[in-house]
Amino acid sequence: MDIHKEIDTRGLNCPLPILKAKKALAEMVTGQLLKVVATDTGSMRDFQAFAKQTGNELVEQQTQGSEFIHILRRR
């Protein structure tokens, strides 16, 4: 997978990971992939809802230890 941008939101709680992802996506072009690394347990459902609301595709979500990885494709 060709990640175009990665943001680290470890230690940040809702809604900061979403807000940082929204800002990063605004700086990207259609089709590019954004990787978000978070530690907020609520981020799994937050990013699912964010993708539905914004039309950006949630390509993948995974848990690695205490971290949650979200991959979004810019609409």
Sign of CA dihedral 45, 49, 51, 54: negative
**Could you tell me the end-to-end alpha-carbon distance of the chain, in angstroms, rounded to an integer?**
17
Query: Among the options 7, 14, 58, 59, which is catalytic?
Result: 14
Query: Is-catalytic flag, 37?
Result: no
Dihedral, 15, 20, 24, 26 alpha carbons, nearest 10: 50
Cite the active site residues: 14
